[in-house]
Structure 1
Amino acid sequence: MGRGMPSMTALLGLLAIAGYQNRDKLAELLKGVGGQPNTGGGQQPPGGLLGNLSGMLGGAGVGGLLNGGIGELLESFKQNGQGDKAESWINQGPNKDVSPPELKQAIGSDVLAQLEQQTGLSQEEILARLSRELPAAVDKYTPDGRLPAA
């Protein structure tokens, strides 16, 4: 992992793939992915890109993904001069928008390249989806103005 931020990369990948509106389905899929056999009716959970992304989590699970991923995201935004935007999503009050170029600067080209490889989406599509989904997703997962517990 280029920047050592697997939770952030996995969180961004999941949001880029399915969007915030499918978060409950994603949580269920992640519980069944990652090398564990599925004993429910012979259906195997989807591998491929969800398998790749959940493999990046190790044993962190969804709570660890949210806590670690949002924390890493906030730190990355701060280091790249975009901390006020990310903090607006966590804190109570209106969320500041983030443009695709600002998002690219904040997450870095190495994370973006990894997301492109893991999701099969173009970098432009990833940035467009994340600039739409990320503020609301972070806001929802930090309802009290704090990072979620692991």
Structure 2
Amino acid sequence: MARGTPSLMALLGVLAMAGYQNRDKLAEMLGRATGGQGVPGEGGRAGGQTGAQMPRGNDGSVGAMLNDGLRDLLDRFRGAGHGETAESWVRSGPNRPVEPTHLESAIGPETLDELAQHTGLSREEVLSRLTRTLPDAVDRYTPEGRLPG
């Protein structure tokens, strides 16, 4: 599979580095973005970067970038035959766990290698962190059972 888009790479990188322990800050950041306000450049830190340093989405906001990343992530899981797993994270109800091999097939080995290089984590650690944090993170970012507008 091709390299990840900047939106997908940023979303996964933030989740791998910030992890579940910072889920409230990440949810707050995405929540502000879905209100159309974006994230001010002088805001809090996420994954070691300020809002001003993080990649931006189509409308110039960090929130749009995260929304684009969520859409790309779900599309990749569908394309890899694991759409039901990823869609369980969006829908109300229990989240299905993701197997490391399924995550790798969805995001692609090139994306995984790039995440490891940019985060300084081993490939295995990136997979481990993402399999632990991704289902709950997507669930929190889609509280109404659908992707943000």
Alignment TM-score, normalising by the size of structure 1:
0.76
Q: CA separation in 2, counterparts of 1:60 and 1:125?
A: 31
Structure 1 segment 62-141 matched on structure 2, within 5 A: 62-141=62-141
Q: For this pair of structures, how many residues does the alignment match?
A: 134
Q: CA separation in 1, counterparts of 2:65 and 2:140?
A: 15
Deviations 1:13-63 (A, max 9, x none): 000001133145464xx743xxxxx6xxxxxx98x9637xx5443664332
Computing the radius of gyration over CA atoms, which structure comes out larger, 1 or 2? 1
- Aligned partners of 1:10 and 1:57 also within 8 Å: no
Q: CA separation in 2, counterparts of 1:114 and 1:107?
A: 11
- Aligned partners of 1:89 and 1:139 also within 8 Å: yes
Assess, with a 3 A threshold, how the Cα gap between structure 1 residues 68 and 106 changes in structure 2: closer, same or farther. same
For residue 13 of structure 1, give the secondary structure of its aligned residue in structure 2. helix
Alignment TM-score, normalising by the size of structure 2:
0.77
**Counting helix residues as a fraction of each chain, which structure ranks higher?**
1
In structure 1, the gaps of 5 or more residues are 33-37, 39-44
Q: CA separation in 2, counterparts of 1:87 and 1:31?
A: 30
